[in-house]
Structure 1
Amino acid sequence: MRVGILSFATPEVVFQRWKPTFDRVGSEIDQRFTLLALTPVELQEQVAQQKLDFIISNALTSVTLKKDYGASSLLTLLPLHSVEPDGAVGSAIITRADIAIDQLDDLTQFAVVSSDPKAFGGFQIMAGELALAGINPFSDLKDLSFVGFPQNKLLDLVVSGEADVAILPSCVLESAINSGHIAAGKLKVVLQHDHQNYDCLASSELYPSYAFSKLGYTDHKLATQIVRALLSIDKNDKEAQLGRYQYWSAPVNDSHVFGLLKTLNKWPFVTNWAFLLKGAIPWVIGSFIFLLLGYLHHLRVKRLVVLRTHALSAEIELHQLTQKSLYEQQKQFYKAQRILLTGEMASGIAHELNQPLAGIRYLTQGCLYRLTPEQGELDTALNKVIQQVDRAQSTIKRFRQFCQQPSVYETCDLVMLINETLNLMSPELKRVQITALLTLTEVSTVADISLLQQVLVNLIRNSLDAMENRPTPALSITLSEHNQQAIISIQDNGIGLSEVALSRLFFPFETSKQNGLGLGMVICKRIIEEHRGNIFATFLNDDNTQGLNITFSLPINIHNATIETSRKSAHV
């Protein structure tokens, strides 16, 4: 029998507490138990994969598992410090003796530490109290941090002054004082709730302690034997003393646990889309296989019909009509293909013209802003205007010859190319008040410099657009060498892309911009592939980083003689 035990402590501590209890139960019912110390995520995964028979977890977790996995609460634990099993666990707000905290709003002014956001008594109970007071702990407590276990470490942080307030389960402070870890009078519990028949100070309502539950597929007769064995344990037994509890009782009223779930916006008051999606995946796969088999059968039948029709068709006139019809269909297909290709190229030209023409506008404005009576900087600005005009003309010329002329390959210093591109885009960088963070390794290759600069301009401009409304935009460009490949990464902290948009990033006419044509990334991909490289995008969304990372690679050992790929072959 496999018993999953929800715990944030080390497996050794969990086994030391619970192994004597289940050794006794196993000897009484002639069963062998395997104990597994699991985090909340690990516990849910084990339950979903039906790898557990029984669970010991806090009240919040046991209630959450009822609907999705058919868990049934069999017993409730009565800890040492409580008289009633339905009021055994709470949260305590602990601070130094010289700090005054009169209401929950005062916590926003202090550095607060907790063990883990999924700890029941250590955080979730107090998070419910804060939510009822209109306080979001993750956004309103500006200096909230989770430092892990053991719990006495949080008390040490408060005593040393590294933190002002610790959110911990009730009775942790009393236990530390009794063991001599913390001197009496140094720390205190604030915002105390009055609880009768409860030996510890708490800053919250009280909830049931650990619950012993069975999964829906576990044999009920075996569960009954285990329940009898657990109920026979008395507080004077060594199993209860090592397990730090008095005894197991019948399941208690957990309606206030549902109230906490509602306050924390968890099941059953919100839809568990992740669970529903996981359950739907086998059906989706099965439906896809069924449709695929049906389609293959359709193709097989269709092929047999065609073969038999041709075998029976002996009339020359019918054969000629069939050939003529096929020829006309091919002509229409190639005609439609040329029309689509021409339209995409025309859209690409219009899209790319916006870049140098926008540069003309920005640089001309820069000249106007910098005009002085002496007009000392006018010459430099006008030269940049001329460079932009030349670039626009070069783009138009290249697209006109796109299907006939090969690319112009030459030795390219990638560090110099990146710096020149950033200088070219300096007005746009100033517009969003950003300086790119560069991490560049000297790398050279053979490439079409103009096309690669076009790729860099497209990617950097997309990053700037994505960060337009960010209070602190950040752009980083990295150039490195790996396995004879030049790796260039452009990363921003912009709004990023959805999963659907990311999967269709390199599709023609797919854009999230209001006036975009959806060809910029398509052109970038084709240019990189013409250089025998690869390009991909990664959405960044974690606690430390958010945004988008675009990475493309170019082969370094590439020679002019080996590159015969033309723009025509890259697009047709």
Structure 2
Amino acid sequence: MHVIDLCRRYQLRLNLLLIILLSSSLTAVLAQTPARHLEPQPYYTVGALAFTSTDRVYNRWAPTLAHVSNQTGIPLKLVTLTPDELVEQVANNKLDFILGNALITVALKKDYGVSHLLNLVPNGRTEPEHAVGSALIARSQLNITNLKELRSLRVISADPNAFGGFQILAGELIEQGINPLSDLEQLKFVGFPQDKLLDDLLAQQADVAILPTCVLENAIEKGDVPVGELHVLLAKQTDFICQTSSQLYPSYAFSKLGHTDHQVATAITLAMLSINATDPEAVIGRYQNWSVPVKDNHVYALLKQLKHWPFVTNWQRLLQDATPWAIAIAIVLFLGYLHHLRVKRLVIKRTHALSQEMKQHQTTQKALFEQQKQFYKAQRVLLTGEMASGIAHELNQPLAGIRYLTQGCLYRLDDSQTEISQALNKTIEQVDRAQSTIKRLRHFCQQPSVYDDVELSQLISETLKLMQPDFKRAGVSPELKLQTVDVSCDASLMQQVLVNLLRNALDAMEPMPQKQLTIELSAQDSQACIRIIDSGSGLTDQALKRLFFPFETSKENGLGLGMVVCKRIVEEHGGQITAHNKPLSRPQDTHQANPMQNHDTGLIITVTLPIKVAAHG
């Protein structure tokens, strides 16, 4: 026995040394996450169910997770949680994997879609689905024949949520119509460690202790309990290595949450399956190995029997554990509230400034919109008038021909052909009516001009502001060379001319790789000269000759009236409008075949208007 005690002490010291070394390894692994595995998230959290000291639970599973991290390169963070904390963390999607008993694993599978990956095979077990149960332990002098006799006895258990102790036996009691919490009047939960319950039995402070299977056998093997002093009540006949008073269930299960990546879960599962009973991780974790999931329908049946888990929660311990966090949260909330007040003040201040800026911007936008609205309205009227003039010109000639031919027919009729004569006279009446209608249409579409004193450079600047979206969309910044020149003109109509010419220039430069637009205004010999020079491809000689003809256009959807309108407005103001291609600045470039590669191509539109003569007193 002395040699055995020395061996046990040596083994205990060796286990403690392994715990320290592997815990340090785990800390290093969790602190230093490899860059190649950080793409999905910094680490994966494993929640381990803890009834006893969290340090003991952490030290039991930390080496296993450290081994998995070292083998797969996947960073794992171990957190130990009570049953209530575990359910809360799962409900809030704060865990990626779970290490828990079979009952809570099945419960979470049902409510939260947890996927069962592995089952633990504890030391000394051969079948993982029959690895843990409950044992009713009493002094050797006490015997009972059924569970109902427990009502009159002093029964103790470690914790109401302990699966391998109280919960399994609670299912057995409920199956026989016994409510363990109300019918067992002398039931007490004395807490951990479990060896304490055996001491209470030996001290005759309790009659029966509800403990997991193999606790008594391990205590006897270690010499903590004399042989023959205690025994298991209502022991079932099984081939299990330890005596049990209940049905056997699977031990610990490793599961993943629904949101966890399946490839990560696969890698971790393979790493855990590679652990053997002789590995240090298995020695410290007190298991042989991990196996694939086993049948757990009897666990689900136990969960159904327990119904709403009628267990008493240790609110005092929960409050004690939560108090530091509550204080820290209160401090954080207070600081957050102060920050909120500061941010709120800044937001109000900046919102007011932004509101003023938005009002100013809206006023500017509204004025610009009204200006554009009036501009487009005037442009439609001008185009309608010019279109009416063109249509009238084209229709008057065939109508006049019809009238002359009809009159010729009338001259050739004799007096006996009265019906034909009446018909032809009606034809002439309809022709006259059509000509009168066209004449009224032309008169209706004519827009009277309103002449005012206008400073042309200011008018050009306002037009450029109006067309700013067009220039931005085309990626063109006009180069301005403007002098101060005063003329007498209709500002709205002259703006129509400028907009039409500038848009034509932008359309001409659209396919060019380099765009350059120059606008010049100068006074030359009592004439105001406006020159619009673009870097487009220019026009052919034939196109230049017919530039100011109505219904002549090179645009796919154009009407061919824009330049006609411009010519009409300019001439109405006593001016002239001309167009010619830019002369090549380098004669050697004239051989270039592709005009898009020639930066000297383009069109020059020149508009001249009479300068306003100052009145002499």
Instruction: Quickly name the TM-score band, shorter chain normalised.
Output: 0.3 to 0.5
Q: Greater Rg, structure 1 or structure 2?
A: 2
Structure 1-normalised TM-score?
Answer: 0.46
